[in-house]
Amino acid sequence: MLEPRIIEKPAMTIIGLEASFLHGLSPQTNNFQVIPPLWDRLWKRSSEIPGRIGHAMYGIIYGRPEEQRSHPDELQYIAGVPSLPAAAVPEGMVSRTIPAGTFAVFLHRGPIQKIGETCHEIYRVWLPQSRWQHAEIADVELYDERFDCEGKVSEMEYWISVGPR
């Protein structure tokens, strides 16, 4: 079973590109049809983002209220970079501030195409057996120098917001 680190994270502002998708645990999942092209578009436009902090890139996953969804398994995904909170948002991009909170940080090793297995382990195995519940602030994917999109030894972090049961 995966064992996370439990950490407190300060608020973080992400600027990037956003799209709706059906999550990886959905029978109709379309995450690999939606998310990789979003990253391709961000790579081409990332130099437009003012006030960038560091070199890491982040995927932010969150749900909208049910009445705003077109499908029960729909989530929102932002491919972006951390930026100063007051930075101007380029046309066609969005800004989202992830509030400070407690996060369970999991390490995903291997090809990104296997992220669904990691999410299954997090949500179907670890979370139900843990002393935590999902706080539903956001899930965060951290892509830094350890990540290699095509690599078998690639690593990235997957954070879920948690609170005590």
pLDDT tens sequence across 102-153: 999 999 999 888 888 999 899 999 999 999 999 999 999 999 999 998 777 8
pLDDT tens figures, 71-101: 989 999 999 999 999 999 999 999 999 999 9
Residue tagged 């998310």 (tokens): 35
Q: How many CA atoms lie within 13 A of 25 on its CB side?
A: 11
H helices present in 90-159, as ranges: 115-120, 127-129
pLDDT of residue 26: 85
Q: Which residues pair with 75 in a beta bridge?
A: 21
Q: How many CA atoms lie within 13 A of 41 on its CB side?
A: 14
Structure tokens belonging to residue 37: 């092209």
The CATH number of whichever domain residue 92 belongs to comes to 3.20.80.10
Number of domains in the chain: 1
Q: Which helix (H) or strand (E) holds 155?
A: strand 155-164
Higher pLDDT residue, 27 or 143? Answer: 143
Give yes or no for residue 1 having a pLDDT over 80: no
What pTM was estimated for this model as a whole? 0.93
For CA atoms 51, 147, 157, 40, give the dihedral sign.
Answer: positive
pLDDT of residue 118: 92
Angle at 110 between CA 137 and CA 83, to 5 degrees: 40
pLDDT of residue 66: 85
Domain with 135, as residue range(s), is 5-164
